[in-house]
């Protein structure tokens, strides 16, 4: 990874901290760090401090003195969780990012990557979305609280870089999904939620599955392990602290197309019923990732393969819970 001077001086034994190591993206970052032979990772779950407590974050940084930080922390959730728990989402994200970014500055961290969210773009943003469009219009109401906290994270990095010269960059990912995802029907994002719904419907031979909304919104999805690879890539290759970089793979799907792909991966043969009484959210979320592509990064996992690996992770998780006697709603 490169330090502030851009000198490629740090080998695989750099002290690296992944804030949010138990999240979907954090867990993928830990897998990628291991796969790319970065062996000196500090604060591995469950040893991570409670990022909402400043004193815990301070003593962690004093003790472990991380040189590089990847910030993937903060509560997140799908459209329904955002609608129901805006206060939990905004406070958890604001506290975590303030404590970690400030501690990183005070403890001389050489480089930090803040992982944002594409919901930070305005609801009716010109597509594909370019970073110049940030804060150029109203946010999607269902997630404005969370989106505001994620914008604040980007602004924190820019401000610390401008005032103190910290090499704190920020990346804006497409909608991530994958292994370690939240498969709960209510709180999860569309892909893990639908995997659970279709599996349950197949096992119980239900005639149809209810899909929220009209099915017409479009989303750009990225497999969490590909996103993690892109994060390590920009830690090595990108140093513009004032310009966030989009982390996408350049393909978007309608929710109907997404549901049809998941139906086929799970092997459900019944009907798809669209429930237009549920919110659609942003009509289109597609990222312009030209800067990342120009730097030479490419995603590796085709969408169907990524969906199959995510379904396998769901089955593995469900089996594990079964064995622990926890009856999952979507029985295996």
Q: How far is the CB of 23 from ligand GFB (least distance, A)?
A: 12
Q: How far is the CB of 305 from ligand GFB (least distance, A)?
A: 20
| Binding residues among 147-176 for ligand GFB as defined by CB under 6 A | 175
213 binding ligand GFB? (CB under 6 A) = yes
Q: How far is the CB of 171 from ligand GFB (least distance, A)?
A: 14
Q: Which is nearer to ligand GFB, 167 or 310 (CB)?
A: 310
DSSP assignment of 45-105 equals TTS---TT-HHHHHHHHHHH--SEEEE--S----HHHHHH-HHHHHHHHHHHHHHHHHHHH
121 is catalytic: no
Note the helical H segments in 204-280: 224-237, 255-266
100 binding ligand GFB? (CB under 6 A) = no
Q: How far is the CB of 174 from ligand GFB (least distance, A)?
A: 8
Angle, alpha carbons 321-28-49 (nearest 5°): 80
193 binding ligand GFB? (CB under 6 A) = yes
Name residues whose C-beta falls within 8 Å of residue 63's C-beta, 6 or more positions apart in sequence.
none
143 binding ligand GFB? (CB under 6 A) = yes
266 binding ligand GFB? (CB under 6 A) = no
CA–CA dist 209, 330 (Å, integer): 13
β-pair type (16-19, 168-173) = unpaired
195 binding ligand GFB? (CB under 6 A) = no
CA–CA dist 130, 287 (Å, integer): 7
User: Residue from 161, 255, 262, 292 that binds ligand GFB (CB under 6 A)?
Assistant: 255
Residues at the interface with ligand GFB (CB under 6 A): 76, 78-80, 82, 117, 119, 142-143, 146, 175, 188-190, 193-194, 211-213, 217, 219, 255, 278-281, 285
Residues tagged active-site? 146
């Amino acid at each position: 990874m490169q330090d502030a001077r851009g000198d490629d001086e740090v080998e695989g034994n750099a002290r690296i901290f992944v804030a949010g190591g138990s999240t979907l993206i954090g867990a993928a970052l830990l897998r990628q760090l291991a796969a790319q032979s970065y062996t000196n990772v500090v604060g591995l779950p469950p040893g991570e401090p409670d990022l909402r407590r400043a004193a815990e974050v301070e003593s962690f940084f004093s003790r472990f003195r991380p040189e590089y930080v990847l910030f993937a922390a903060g509560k997140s959730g799908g459209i329904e969780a955002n609608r129901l728990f805006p206060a939990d989402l905004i406070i958890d994200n604001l506290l975590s990012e303030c404590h970690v970014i400030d501690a990183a500055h005070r403890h001389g961290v050489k480089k930090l990557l803040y992982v944002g969210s594409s919901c930070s773009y305005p609801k009716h943003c010109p597509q594909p979305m370019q970073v110049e469009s940030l804060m150029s219009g109203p946010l999607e109401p269902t997630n404005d609280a969370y989106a505001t906290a994620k914008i604040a994270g980007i602004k924190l990095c820019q401000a610390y870089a401008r005032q103190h010269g910290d090499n704190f960059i920020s990346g804006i990912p497409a909608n991530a999904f994958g292994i370690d995802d939240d498969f709960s029907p209510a709180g999860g994002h569309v892909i893990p939620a639908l995997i659970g719904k279709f599996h349950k419907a197949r096992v119980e031979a239900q005639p149809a599955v209810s899909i929220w909304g009209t099915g017409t919104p479009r989303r750009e999805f990225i497999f969490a392990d590909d996103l993690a690879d892109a994060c390590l890539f920009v830690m090595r290759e990108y140093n513009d602290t004032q310009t966030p970089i989009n982390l996408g793979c350049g393909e978007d799907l309608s929710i109907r197309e997404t549901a049809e792909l998941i139906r086929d991966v799970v092997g459900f043969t019944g009907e798809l019923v669209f429930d237009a009484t549920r919110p659609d959210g942003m009509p289109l979320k597609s990222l312009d990732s030209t800067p990342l592509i120009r730097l030479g990064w490419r995603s590796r996992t085709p969408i169907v393969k990524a969906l199959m690996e995510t379904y396998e992770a769901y089955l593995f998780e469900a089996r594990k819970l079964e064995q622990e006697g926890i009856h999952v709603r979507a029985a295996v």
